[in-house]
Amino acid sequence: MQTRVQDNPDLHRFEIYADDALAGFAVYEPSGANRAFVHTEIDSSYEGKGLAKILVKEALDATRDEKLGVLPFCPFVHRYVEKNPEYLALVPDWARERMGLPT
């Protein structure tokens, strides 16, 4: 299965495609110098294939490339940041404490 992730700014979400079929998305809201991730969803026919991890990693990488911070309100994005400390620096200091992330 080939995957690709792309930003769909009109819908405020990153989308993951599996063999050219939309398999899921991560919804965000622009928030000043930050991007607030609020929901991640993978189609049930693609669950358990690791697509959510690919989607979130690429969404966070794109956000970093755009020099934006990350507000991980989505539980999946929050857990991903916790488990992958290289992304912790994307979360502003003030938000880390409020979200229970290491400071």
Looking at domain 3-98, its CATH superfamily turns out to be: Gcn5-related N-acetyltransferase (GNAT) (3.40.630.30)
pTM score, whole prediction? 0.95
SS3 assignment for 42-83:
ECHHHCCCCHHHHHHHHHHHHHHHCCCEEEECCHHHHHHHHH
Annotated domain spans of the chain = 3-98
CB 12 within 8 A of CB 30: yes
103, pLDDT greater than 90: no
Q: What is the pLDDT of residues 44-96, one digit of tens each?
A: 999 999 999 999 999 999 999 999 999 999 999 999 999 999 999 999 999 99
Is 103 or 48 the better-scoring residue by pLDDT?
Answer: 48
Q: What is the pLDDT of residues 5-46, one digit of tens each?
A: 999 999 999 999 999 999 999 999 999 999 999 999 999 999
DSSP-derived pairing of the beta strands 21-31 and 69-72: unpaired
Among 58, 64, 79, smallest CA distance to 15 is for 58
